[in-house]
Chain A
Amino acid sequence: MKKKLDQSKVILATDCGSTTTKAILIQCIDGEYRMTHRGESPTTVEAPFEDVTRGVLNAVMELEELSGRKILDGEMFINTCDKGEDGIDLYISTSSAGGGLQMMVAGVVKSMSGESAQRAALGAGAIVMDVLASNDGRMYHEKVKRIRQLRPDMILLSGGVDGGTVSHVVELAEILESANPKPRLGINYKLPIIYAGNKKARDSIKEKLSKISDLEVVKNIRPTLDSENLQPSRDKIHDLFMEHVMAQAPGYKKLMSWADTPIMPTPGAVGEIIKKIAEKEKMSVLGVDIGGATTDVFSVFQGIFNRTVSANLGMSYSVCNVLAEAGIDNVARWVPFDLDKEDLMNRIANKMIRPTTIPQSIDELKIEQAIAREALRLSFYQHKNFAVGLKGVQQERTISDAFDQTMSGQTLVDMMDLDLLVGSGGVLSHAPRRSQSAKMLVDAFLPQGITQLAVDSIFMMPQLGVLSTVHPKAAVEVFEKDCLVRLGTVIAPVGKVKNDKQLMSYLIKHPEGEIEGTLIEGEIKLIKADFIPIECIFKPERGIDLGEGEGEIIEKQIFGGEVGIILDGRGRPELGFSSDIDKRKSILSNWSIALDEYNEEQIYSDDRRMKEDQKLIGFIK
């Protein structure tokens, strides 16, 4: 009997991460889908186990213990198909184990087909190791050397509009042919190459690449200069990820045979759920997942989905890279006490080599959250520069003319247009106080106007993403009820007034009584309110914009959350930091107190503690 997947009542979903395999059990209770239990276990892709299914079974066994539901019969799932008390109806999984899907993309013009290919690969959940382009400034032999060094899992080759000149894209194929690239995993199979370029060049591409690779041809990613067709490439990437890359990883053939739907790369699945939510709520959404090694940013603006992965910005394995890229001063500006540079460097480097440590003191937590702000800020900066409209659209040029063009597309990311900002990853999801998560998100992303804030409670977006492809109802219900923790709404006026002058006045019709007040430049305020609709009136001053234009009054229903309503008058589009160190420290402390960010009673003196800590460093006996 063929399963009707969208009728499933008991769903098991796993995410096989680099270090941990997470399993969740979703059940339909009284007509409503809820995540009822969660288990986890170390991932077992590497020695001594070298079988991913061991970790999956261990995580599922934990689920069985917690739920009391028998899911396994030996090493097989019990398939209930609507019958009996035990078993499951549907099993789905995502995976980023073994370093995820690592791709190289190639396009004729770096900022055109090169970017389109990059968007396709990132959207499918890949890490893009390099973008090869005819005009990337590298010599032929340098490109060949780079391809040989990187050994990607897959290559996506694009270039040329349909019917246009073929020579440039064939030249790229010749570079690939010369490099004769070998896959990262397994020495005995051919590297998959997807061709998604000018259809007129297909025969020549086949001639060049079919002998050295497993060549697949799909529709052109950029059929005309003003259109982009990413889906056929993304679908093919998912197919090949299953057939080639995953099939090489230990235990995945068995895992694939268990799953009712194809295993999806973890970030690709997160992208799916972000897209679904934006579509369903008709809103613009920005999502971020900050991990130990990488930070992924997802956005849907004007209905267009974009994903970027900052491969070396993270909170443990890549924490030194955050410091290197942001600079010590940018990290220090968020810390309300003095830092000894060398000591801080060693502390952070020790976190890189022992990634599982936990901040014990309040100062360690503040330093960790300062680094997180910078990792998020840098990742978002990269995202804004990548999530742009198609370049070269309004130019009447041929591809070859386009080599010289320097015009860049406008970013699609409009913070005033943003409706919902969702954070995920340990430092955001597991911050001791939700107000810390909210403040990290606001400080790093600087939302403008009126924006809702949320965090993923236990990082179940990947599982819900793949679920959304077969059972959208269950995915959306669980996402809203169990996955998202609503933090509240931030109101951030844009524009400049003189110091200490009023930015806006407000009337918040709180259920416990109306709250009226004014927001002064440089000030941040928190109004506690639950996740319920609250009518508000905001009156910005002349020259100040909240989304409806300068000085325009806004009457709107907004929502509170676990944190509440944040009125942020600290400055937009950029925060103003004082160059006076003592003044800056005092301002930072005031911001923290306003948002009830830390337990200030426990802090006896930031300066005193740092001095004590420094005594402990140095020669250790």
Chain B
Amino acid sequence: MSKSYTPGLKILKSTILSKKRLLPLKGEVHVDKNEAISHDTIVASTKIPGNVHMVNLSKQLNVEPNGVKDLMLIEVDEKIVKGQVIAESKGFFGMFKASVKSPVDGFLLNVSDITGQATISEPALPVEIDSYIDGMVQEVFDKEGVLIQSNCAIIQGILGVGGENKGEIKVLTKTEQDEIISDMITPDLNGKIVVGGSYITLDAYRKAQKMNVSGIIVGGFNYTDLSQLLGFNLGVAITGSENLGTSLLITEGFGKIKMARRTFKLFNSLEGRYGSINGATQIRAGVIRPEVVVALDSDNEKHEEFNEDELVINVGSNVRVIRAPYFGKVGTVAELPSELLKMESETLVRVAKIKFENGEFSTVPRANLEVILQD
């Protein structure tokens, strides 16, 4: 029997998750292998070089570039404060001296006798990496970071914006097809990760930002609203560095699309627990999906592995069409013909015959279907 796969997102009630937490530059790791850690434990830190400033000594002291080193009052790597005189000309019989002051606090990085410039670096900026989830240190990468293992539930979305945030899970809608509207956002949601059904309006999202909600999870969102939110049209799905305050995770796609029932049920079962959300997405080589991770208290729960077979389109699979002309319609696979079929567009493709919820049948390219996970 022929079958077909759809792109899969992990929706797992309980699994063993291994997560790398790495520094951008080499630094110091603060935890040991097999150490139990909580989501806010600082696991590694480093210092990122500070901003640098160029000071043209040759020009300001009116000397040739190869003469500036002799006029320096401080050494390379020596600390300096803003306004401190760092170089001085010899003047005329000790008078009419010209001097150059440091524009910033920092230290002298180098002096060039070719360009006649001094490079001053601001103090290095400390960077700390936390654990992100509760768990155990599985491996330590010397000076780079750690691999953390955690017993947790994980829900991946199709697209997100905003970086890492944490908070208590709060399901705000009754069903997976209800929308979140502005009136539903109240002050008690401060610091929480809020789950909705099919959609959130732009007004409601903006209100959530004001209320310092940690994250929003919904089935769909309008592309034009996203553009307004970001201040630009999202051209490629590479996100995560937006400074939004409230991370947004879309589980299904653009438009109003009800959240998959299995996803919504899992969020309901996690209500009240503490979770971590990350909107970072990369839909390209090196794919990164936005996610919500909730560490579980007990290790007794039966662990699930990501099962690719659940994403196989078989006869009887529940599917959603992800492209016009049937975009968003939900149905069941009635038949999977093995031969290629010519579509109205004259494209020759592998197809599935779908029985939609209203009882009508249609033929759809398999590439335009995705499995709706059921419990």
A contact set with B: CB distance below 8 Å: 18-19, 45-46, 97-99, 140-141, 144-145, 148, 166-167, 170-171, 174, 177-180, 182, 187, 204, 293, 312, 317-318, 320-321, 323-325, 341-342, 345-365, 432-433, 598-599, 602, 609, 612-613, 616-621
Contact = CB atoms under 8 A, between A and B. Distances in A.
A290 B325 CA distance: 25
Nearest to B368: A357
A355 B148 CA distance: 32
B99 to A, nearest CB: 21
B328 A357 contact: no
Contacts of A46: 285-287
Given A353-B283, A360-B345, A432-B347, A620 B328 contact: yes
Given A171-B112, A321-B236, 18 more contacts: A99-B285, A99-B286, A167-B114, A171-B115, A171-B117, A174-B115, A178-B121, A321-B233, A345-B223, A347-B324, A349-B253, A350-B323, A356-B367, A360-B326, A433-B346, A598-B346, A620-B256, A621-B357
Interface of B: 7, 24-26, 48-49, 51-54, 65, 109-110, 112, 114-117, 119, 121, 144, 158-159, 177, 198, 222-224, 226, 232-237, 253-258, 283-287, 322-330, 343-349, 357, 364-365, 367-368, 370
Contact of A361 (B24, B114, B256, B344): B344
Contacts of B65: 167
Contact of B222 (A204, A318, A342, A355): A342
A360 B324 contact: yes
Given A318-B236, A619-B256, A365 B347 contact: yes
Contacts of A361: 324-325, 343-345
Contacts of A140: 52-54
B344 A362 contact: yes
Contacts of A323: 233
A178 B364 contact: no
A360 B365 contact: yes
A353 B257 contact: no
A567 to B, nearest CB: 25
A365 B347 CA distance: 9
15 contacts: A140-B53, A144-B51, A145-B51, A167-B115, A178-B119, A342-B222, A348-B223, A350-B254, A353-B283, A357-B365, A358-B365, A361-B345, A599-B346, A613-B324, A619-B256
Contacts of A318: 235-236
A362 B253 contact: no
A46 B282 CA distance: 13
Contact of B367 (A166, A178, A357): A357
Contacts of B54: 140, 174
A334 to B, nearest CB: 16
Nearest to B141: A187
A166 B66 CA distance: 13
Contacts of B286: 46, 98-99
A174 B112 contact: yes
A355 B110 contact: no
A365 B26 contact: no
A423 B25 CA distance: 43
A360 B344 contact: yes
A365 B325 CA distance: 11
A356 B7 contact: yes
A598 B62 CA distance: 73
B144 A358 contact: no
A385 to B, nearest CB: 20
Contacts of B348: 432
B204 to A, nearest CB: 16
Contacts of B109: 178
B236 A320 contact: yes
A138 to B, nearest CB: 12
B160 to A, nearest CB: 11
Contact of A349 (B119, B254, B349): B254
Nearest to A345: B223
Nearest to A204: B114
Given A140-B54, A619-B198, A360 B325 contact: yes
A139 to B, nearest CB: 9
For the complex of A and B, the 4 pairs showing the least CB-CB separation, nearest first, are A321-B235, A620-B328, A432-B346, A324-B233
B159 A353 contact: yes
A360 B364 contact: yes
Contacts of A293: 236, 284
B233 A359 contact: no
- The secondary structure that dominates the B interface is loop
Contacts of B284: 18, 99, 293, 317
A364 B328 contact: no
Contacts of B110: 174, 177
Name the residue among B26, B112, B344, B345 with the largest chain A CB count within 10 angstroms.
Answer: B345
Contacts of B343: 358-361
A617 B321 CA distance: 12
Contacts of A345: 222-224, 254
A98 B112 contact: no
Contact of B370 (A144, A347, A354, A612): A354
A41 to B, nearest CB: 14
A364 B324 contact: yes
A45 to B, nearest CB: 7
A237 B149 CA distance: 40
Contacts of A145: 51
A322 to B, nearest CB: 8
B115 A350 contact: no
B373 to A, nearest CB: 16
A195 B5 CA distance: 48
Given A357-B367, A433-B346, A148 B237 contact: no
Nearest to A46: B286
Nearest to A360: B343
A354 to B, nearest CB: 5
Contacts of B365: 357-358, 360
Name the residue among A341, A358, A612 with the largest chain B CB count within 10 angstroms.
Answer: A358
Nearest to B367: A358
A364 B322 CA distance: 13
A318 to B, nearest CB: 5
A598 B344 CA distance: 10
Nearest to B253: A350
Contacts of A351: 323
Given A177-B110, A320-B234, A324-B233, A98 B256 contact: no
A180 B52 CA distance: 12
Contacts of B368: 357-358, 360
B233 A19 contact: no
B325 A353 contact: no
A507 B99 CA distance: 83
Contacts of A357: 322-323, 365, 367-368
Nearest to A359: B345
A171 B223 CA distance: 44
B236 A349 contact: no
A356 B328 CA distance: 16
B28 to A, nearest CB: 14
A352 B349 CA distance: 20
Contact of B158 (A166, A204, A341, A353): A353
Contact of B236 (A341, A352, A598): A352
Name the residue among B7, B158, B343 with the largest chain A CB count within 10 angstroms.
Answer: B343
Given A99-B284, A342-B222, A353-B159, A358 B349 contact: yes
B236 A616 contact: no
A362 B325 CA distance: 10
Given A318-B236, A320-B234, A346-B255, A616 B287 contact: no
Name the residue among A18, A187, A350, A612 with the largest chain B CB count within 10 angstroms.
Answer: A350
Nearest to A361: B325
B236 A178 contact: no
Contact of B235 (A171, A324, A342, A359): A324
Contact of B52 (A144, A321, A355): A144
A312 B344 contact: no
Contacts of B349: 358
A349 to B, nearest CB: 4
